[in-house]
């Protein structure tokens, strides 16, 4: 017994790669019992025990999970399986959970073109539950600003701003369609968090080139905020009766009225990074949000974002390490779709989060109440402009007189007199009975002067013939082409009115040359 125990303790444990490969094969099995057993082993024992998983191994694991989801039938079983997969975001350590979600987005985009229409619904539900799990992860940390910025950056880099060449636009469309519905459960939030959650969508709307995605974001996000903002404004004007504080009109309407989207859209549309095809949509949204804000100011209604009370403690953030291609770990760096996100995208996301801070630094004496100028500033500006105009008018006075004198000396002949003169000349030509030829026609045509014009017009018979049926009509058994009647300038060429008859083709006569020698006539060809 002692020897057996020593032998069992001496045996080395199998390497991580072999366990990973065996799990992947079992996850893609056709038998449901094998898939369930391997998934239970993966989520409960193997994955939580790993301090970190290489990026390639995580992609292989998600390939097996994808086919595990592919083989799942019956809606109840699919829903339970999706809940188990999404619950791993909360059971795993934070760095591993973030890596797990990042590779999930990468796998969905890579495999999206292979999903048939019969399996789309369960993968739509999978994306929705994982999005909800990501938002719940932020909510569990009491919406810490640094963690929220980091996780929202992963979401946007893995979907809307993905730099891969996969045909996974359906993932982006679905995330844009269900985002408001999933984040509604966690609202209301403080304004700093809302800027990190909703602010980047303005930037995405400006820089993406997919028109379908632009329409999805506009209709499912910003149009919804506009609609709720108008309803909330009407409710506030009517006396705020019969509307609860947690109603969609109050929660979403306060976001649409208080986030200053009109200013954000104007800055995005004026930016050189904005896609040219999206400027029309962006400036249209700017106009609508600006009008909504002006209506709120004119009505005297004050709308503020109500903050929800959070009693949970903020957990201590653990720096996430990711191995680079050279094997050197990097801290506080998150890899989306297997590669580091671009600096330009990160800087643009930071600009959206800092837009509020920059707006507070502007001079309040120049612009007041969302674009309405101060009356005292307007009066001083108008008086200065009047003085400038008077100086310019005094300087331009003699120049205007000189120009007027020159114009008086060289008065052009009125157009009406020229037309009358040409008509008299044409009438005189007709009275003299001159023959109508090309030169006479050119002199009779109106031109810039009474001299002969050098322009010559070519005459085309096909443009001056009108095709009409025979009159009377021929019998039905006899089919003849319609006759052509000349019109316009064809009559001037001497063609008589009536049907045009084609003259028979002339046959050339053969010349007969007598043969002088033999007296025999030869035919010259």
pLDDT tens, 86-120?
999 999 999 999 999 999 999 999 999 999 999 99
Backbone angles phi, psi at 146, to 5 degrees: -65, -45
| pLDDT, average across residues 197-207 | 94
Residue 421: the pLDDT is 57
Sign of CA dihedral 474, 476, 480, 485: positive
pLDDT of residue 501: 57
Q: Which range has the worst mean pLDDT, 3-12, 198-207, 354-363, 452-461?
A: 3-12
Question: Mean of the per-residue pLDDT values for the chain?
Answer: 73
Closest CA to 213 of 172, 180, 183: 172
Least confident among 72-86, 195-209, 213-227, 435-449: 435-449
Q: Does a structural domain hold residue 429? A: no
The answer to whether residue 471 sits within a structural domain is no
91: left (phi over 0), alpha (psi -120 to 50) or beta: alpha
| Average pLDDT of the segment spanning 148-173 | 93
Q: Is residue 231 a part of any domain in this protein?
A: yes
Q: What is the count of structural domains for the chain?
A: 1
Residue 463 within any structural domain of the chain:
no
- 206 Cβ contact partners less than 8 Å away, ≥ 6 residues apart: 268, 269, 271, 273, 274, 275, 278, 282
Of the candidate ranges 246-260, 287-301, 497-511, the one whose mean pLDDT is the lowest:
497-511
Q: Comparing 176 with 11, which gets the higher pLDDT?
A: 176
Residue 446, pLDDT above cutoff 50 = no
pLDDT at 516 over 90: no
235 part of a folded domain = yes
Q: Is residue 255 part of a domain?
A: yes
Greater model confidence, 160 or 468: 160
Burial track 63-89 (b if 16+ CB lie within 10 A, e otherwise): bbbbbbbeebeeeeebeebbeebbebb
The whole-number average pLDDT for the span 473-477 is: 67
> Does residue 230 form part of some domain?
yes
Q: Give the pLDDT score at 115.
A: 93
SS3 342: coil
- The pLDDT value given to residue 515: 61
* CA angle (10, 14, 17) in 5-degree steps: 160
CB 442 within 8 A of CB 426: no
Taking residues 172-191, report their average pLDDT: 94
Name the more confident of 336 and 304: 304
pLDDT at position 437: 46
Residue 460 lies in a domain: no
Phi, psi for 367 (deg, rounded to 5): -120, 130
Q: Give the torsion through C-alpha atoms of 327, 333, 338, 342, to 10 deg.
A: -120
Highest mean pLDDT among 29-33, 334-338, 479-483: 29-33
From 164, 146, 160, select the one nearest 339 (Cα to Cα): 164
- Candidate from 33-42, 157-166, 329-338, 408-417 with smallest mean pLDDT: 329-338
Residue 507: the pLDDT is 59
Categorize the per-residue pLDDT at 20 as very low, low, confident or very high, splitting at 50, 70 and 90: confident
Q: Which domain holds residue 223?
A: 201-307
Q: Report the share of the chain in percent with pLDDT over 70.
A: 55
Which range (277-286, 346-355, 375-384) has the least confidence? 346-355
Is there a contact between 238 and 268 (Cβ–Cβ < 8 Å)?
Answer: no
Residue 378 is predicted with a pLDDT of 58
Copy the structure tokens of residue 415.
């157009």
Given a cut of 80, whether residue 207 has pLDDT beyond it is: yes
| pLDDT bracket for residue 16 (50, 70, 90) | very low
What is the reported pLDDT for 247? 85
pLDDT recorded at residue 457: 59
pLDDT tens digits for range 236-255: 888 766 677 778 899 999 99
> What pLDDT is recorded for position 21?
80
Mean pLDDT lowest among 59-73, 191-205, 223-237, 354-368? 354-368
Only one residue has tokens 């929202």, namely 152
H-type alpha helices, 218-278: 223-238, 248-258, 261-270
pLDDT attached to residue 271? 93
Token pair of 197, please? Answer: 């959650």
């Amino acid at each position: 017994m002692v020897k057996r125990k020593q032998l069992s303790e001496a045996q080395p444990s199998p390497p991580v790669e072999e366990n990973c490969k065996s799990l992947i094969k079992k996850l893609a099995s056709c038998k449901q019992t094998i898939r369930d057993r391997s998934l239970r082993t993966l989520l409960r024992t193997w994955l939580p025990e790993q301090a970190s998983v290489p990026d390639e191994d995580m992609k292989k694991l998600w390939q097996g999970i994808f086919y595990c989801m592919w083989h799942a039938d019956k809606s109840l079983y699919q829903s339970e399986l999706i809940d188990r997969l999404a619950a791993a975001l909360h059971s795993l350590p934070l760095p591993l959970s973030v890596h797990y979600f990042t590779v999930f987005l990468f796998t969905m985009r890579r495999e999206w073109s292979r999903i048939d229409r019969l399996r789309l619904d369960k993968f739509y539900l999978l994306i929705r539950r994982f999005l909800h799990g990501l938002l719940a992860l932020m909510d569990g940390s009491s919406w810490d600003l640094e963690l929220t910025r980091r996780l929202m950056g992963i979401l946007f880099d893995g979907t809307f701003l993905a730099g891969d060449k996969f045909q996974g636009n359906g993932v982006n469309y679905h995330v844009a369609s269900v985002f408001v519905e999933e984040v509604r459960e966690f609202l209301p939030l403080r304004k700093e968090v809302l800027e990190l959650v909703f602010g980047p969508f303005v930037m995405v709307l400006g820089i993406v080139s997919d028109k379908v995605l632009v329409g999805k974001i506009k209709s499912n996000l910003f149009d919804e905020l506009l609609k709720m903002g108008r309803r909330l404004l009407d409710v506030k004007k009517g006396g705020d009766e019969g509307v609860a504080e947690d109603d969609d009109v109050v929660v979403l309407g306060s976001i649409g009225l208080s986030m200053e989207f009109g200013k954000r859209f104007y800055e995005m549309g004026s930016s050189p990074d904005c896609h040219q095809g999206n400027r029309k949509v962006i400036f249209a949204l700017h106009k609508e949000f600006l009008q909504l804000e002006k209506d709120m100011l004119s009505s005297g209604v004050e709308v503020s974002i109500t903050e929800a009370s959070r009693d949970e403690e903020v957990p201590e953030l653990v720096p996430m390490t990711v191995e680079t291609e050279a094997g050197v770990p990097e801290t506080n760096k998150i890899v989306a779709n297997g590669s580091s996100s671009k600096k330009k995208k990160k800087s643009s996301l930071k600009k959206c989060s800092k837009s509020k801070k920059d707006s507070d630094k502007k001079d309040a004496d120049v612009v007041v109440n969302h674009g309405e100028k101060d009356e005292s500033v307007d009066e001083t500006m108008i008086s200065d402009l009047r003085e400038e105009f008077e100086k310019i008018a005094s300087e331009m006075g003699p120049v205007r007189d000189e120009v007027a004198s020159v114009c008086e000396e060289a008065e052009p002949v009125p157009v009406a007199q020229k037309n009358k003169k040409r008509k008299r000349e044409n009438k005189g030509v007709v009275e003299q009975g001159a023959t109508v030829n090309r030169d006479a026609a050119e002199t009779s045509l109106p031109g810039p002067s009474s001299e002969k014009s050098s322009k010559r017009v070519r005459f085309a018979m096909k443009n001056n013939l009108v095709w009409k049926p025979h009159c009377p009509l021929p019998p039905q058994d006899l089919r003849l082409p319609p006759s052509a009647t000349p019109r316009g300038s064809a009559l001037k060429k001497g063609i008589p009115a009536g049907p045009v008859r084609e003259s028979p083709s002339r046959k050339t006569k053969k010349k007969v040359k007598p043969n002088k020698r033999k007296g025999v006539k030869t035919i010259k060809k």
